[in-house]
Chains A and B, each alone.
Chain A
Amino acid sequence: MTSAAAIDRALVALFAAFMLSVPWSVPALINSFWVSVIAEILIWSLFAASVNLLFGYVGLLSFGQALYFGCGMYGVAIGISDFGLSFWPAFGLGIVVAMAMALVTGIFAVRLTWHYFAIITVVFSLIFYFLALTNKWLTGGDDGINFTLPSTFSFGGALWSFTDPTFQYFFILGTVSLCFWLMHRLIGSPLGKAFLAIRDNDVRASLIGLNVYLLRLIAFVMAGFLAGVAGALFSFFGRYASATYMFYHVSGEAVVWAIVGGAGTLFGPIVGTSIFIVVREIVSTHWEHHSLIVGVVAILVVIFAPKGIVGLWHEWLTRLIERSTTTRIETKLRTEP
């Protein structure tokens, strides 16, 4: 018997198989440029996932995730160009800086909810955006920092580094997959259930003994971790860091990607990000006003599929299966909001 879960599992397997074959199948089908586009999509999906962790699972709409993305980028870039770190310590530095920043700002931010939370996260990210712009000695301002990439692994004489596009792709795929797997485990864990309880009703959650403030802070630091990893990867990928990636428009795009894809679903951010970046890459070569399409798509999805594309797909799938088994199921299934 086919069930929605089985179809989903098959799709995920198919997706994983495609992702593993990208460095060979994509150059054969289209061209090798698209391999790096797909790597970029993976990084931005992780960034959108950090918005999704906060909004989709804890109910906090953050409009300042770009700050932690920028911290990841600058941690790597400053680590390599100023401190002369090698690959792994720089990677670690980027993540630690992002998480530390998330902890410090989170202590204040998670005291607020809803509109206030959305606004204070923007404010924090704007403060550090302007600080990064003015302190050129540290951040390079608008021009950013360029650096030469150290190799990732070296065993004896053998070197693996991001200069090899196939290695770069698999390193990004591996890291992003690991993060998504961690998030999948998190959602199934007691901690994840506590997050969902807070999302659905924070008063009730506090009445059953959950420490709402602390749990929100934990989620905020976790989201900072995801954004930091994404930023560090993007820094390695582009070999530079720039304050422009800390602007609130970058955070806004991630919010749009996550909600259009489907907030509160693991794969929503991947779907949303892929659609927008693929559209951008295809359209921008022919027509420079691709943002117009992004805007129209965002509005259409919000009006016609308020649960996002993954949510729409699940609704459609459930209805399809229900129809094929109408004799068995009499009562209408109530789906979770």
Chain B
Amino acid sequence: METFLLLAMNGLIWGLIIALIALGLAIIFGLLDIINLAHGDFFMVGTVLAWATLQSTGNFWLAFVFAPLVGFILGALIQRVVIQPIHNVAALSIVATFGLSLILQESVRITFGPTPRRILPPIQGTVHLFGIDYEVYRIFAAAVAIVALVGFFVFLHRTRLGTWVRAVRHDRDTAVAMGIPARRIYIFTFAIGFALAAVGGVVAAPITTVDFRGGVDILPFCFMAVIIGGLGNLPGTAAAAILLSFFEGVISSVADPTVARISSLVLMSAVLLLRPQGLFKGLTR
């Protein structure tokens, strides 16, 4: 029972972090029609930036400012230099982002080194919760993820820039006719996607290991969330990420983690074949 609760909690909190990353993937996919194979590496860059900030300043909290900023700038740069010239052709974007993924991984391997490292949680200690001792940092991580998720949706629905992003996604030509700078919105969206993944990386860095291959495992999981939630359905994506991760946590309390991964992959195939619009079609706008 205790391991069950622990793994279920871990799953839930990991799901909140994954939701942040998957959300970035989903807005990039929905707006630019790009399958971004480098998205896992955006997360990985976030973890490495957290480590680098801690090393150079001794203060982990600065990473929450620094990493999204660097992520935003890198994202804008990548969109302008790599993604824009290929005019959103899906097949080419897959090759380009695959190349991007290799470049990011190798650059980190050169600068950061090939050995995985760990960051100690900046908040030590445990708290007694539902009969188990639970790490305080993980609860803090969940809170950060929730704040970022809510913040993102508020931004998307309550600010002018967010409305522009939704307008361009809905109907690009009309949006352009209304005077919305669509090209800049594309750059901005990609940059926001990178920044969200980087925040996810900073939050996750003390929980997981900092490794140049850290994004490789994350990527399929984020895609699962995007598919099960429904391509382009942002609240659905976030919900799917949390559900999936919780589900894997529950299964891995009774079976091997690989079995948990296989069952969520099978679930995803079923969703793709039976409800290609996602599980939550019709539940949201």
Interface residues of A (CB under 8 A from B): 55, 61, 63, 108, 111-112, 114-116, 118-120, 122-124, 126-127, 130-131, 133-134, 248-249, 252, 255-256, 259-260, 263, 289, 291-292, 294-299, 301-303, 306
Q: Are A298 and B99 in contact (CB under 8 A)?
A: yes
Q: Are A122 and B223 in contact (CB under 8 A)?
A: yes
A292, B98: Cα distance in complex, Å: 11
Q: Are B37 and A252 in contact (CB under 8 A)?
A: yes
B50 within 8 A of A: no
Minimum CB–CB distance from A6 to chain B (whole Å) comes to: 31
On whether A295 and B106 interact (CB within 8 A), knowing A112-B272, A112-B276, A130-B262, the answer reads: yes
Chain B residues with CB under 8 Å of A131's CB are 262
Give me 16 other A-B pairs in contact (C-beta within 8 A), A294-B99, A298-B98 excluded: A61-B94, A108-B269, A116-B272, A116-B276, A123-B220, A123-B224, A252-B37, A252-B98, A255-B98, A259-B91, A289-B106, A295-B102, A295-B106, A299-B95, A302-B95, A303-B85
Chain A residues with CB under 8 Å of B94's CB are 61, 63, 118, 255
A-B contact pairs, 15 of them (CB 8 A): A108-B273, A115-B35, A116-B276, A118-B94, A120-B269, A120-B273, A130-B265, A249-B216, A255-B94, A256-B98, A289-B110, A292-B103, A295-B101, A296-B99, A299-B82
Q: Which B residues, 243 to 285, have Cβ-Cβ distances below 8 Å to chain A?
A: 256, 258-259, 261-262, 265-266, 268-269, 272-273, 276
Query: What string of 1s and 0s marks CB contacts (under 8 Å) between B181-208 and chain A?
Result: 0000000000000000000000000000
Chain A's closest residue to B226 (CB) is A119
Q: Are A291 and B92 in contact (CB under 8 A)?
A: no
Q: Which B residues, 93 to 120, have Cβ-Cβ distances below 8 Å to chain A?
A: 94-96, 98-103, 105-107, 109-110
Q: Are A127 and B109 in contact (CB under 8 A)?
A: no
Chain A residues with CB under 8 Å of B265's CB are 123, 126-127, 130
Chain B residues with CB under 8 Å of A114's CB are 90
A120, B82: Cα distance in complex, Å: 26
A123, B216: Cα distance in complex, Å: 14
Query: Which residue of the partner chain, among A55, A118, A123, A298, contacts B269 with CB atoms under 8 Å?
Result: A123
Chain B residues with CB under 8 Å of A255's CB are 94-95, 98
Query: Which residue of the partner chain, among A115, A126, A295, A298, contacts B220 with CB atoms under 8 Å?
Result: A126
A119, B268: Cα distance in complex, Å: 10
Chain A's closest residue to B93 (CB) is A302
Chain A residues with CB under 8 Å of B109's CB are 289
Q: Are B86 and A127 in contact (CB under 8 A)?
A: no
Chain B's closest residue to A260 (CB) is B95
A289, B109: Cα distance in complex, Å: 8
Q: Are A248 and B220 in contact (CB under 8 A)?
A: yes
A301, B220: Cα distance in complex, Å: 26
B89 within 8 A of A: yes
Chain A residues with CB under 8 Å of B110's CB are 289, 292
Query: Which residue of the partner chain, among B92, B106, B258, contacts A306 with CB atoms under 8 Å?
Result: B92
Minimum CB–CB distance from B264 to chain A (whole Å) comes to: 10
A291, B213: Cα distance in complex, Å: 13
Minimum CB–CB distance from A197 to chain B (whole Å) comes to: 19
A256, B95: Cα distance in complex, Å: 6
Chain B residues with CB under 8 Å of A134's CB are 256, 258-259, 262
Q: Which B residues, 18 to 67, have Cβ-Cβ distances below 8 Å to chain A?
A: 29, 35, 37
Chain A residues with CB under 8 Å of B210's CB are none
Q: Are A130 and B90 in contact (CB under 8 A)?
A: no
Chain A residues with CB under 8 Å of B89's CB are 306
Which of B101, B227, B258, B272 has the most C-beta atoms of chain A within 10 angstroms of its own C-beta?
B272
A116, B272: Cα distance in complex, Å: 7
The 10 A-B residue pairs with the shortest CB-CB distance in the complex, in nearest-first order = A298-B99, A295-B102, A295-B103, A295-B99, A292-B106, A299-B99, A291-B102, A303-B85, A291-B106, A127-B265
Chain B's closest residue to A63 (CB) is B94
A263, B90: Cα distance in complex, Å: 14
B16 within 8 A of A: no
Chain B residues with CB under 8 Å of A124's CB are 269
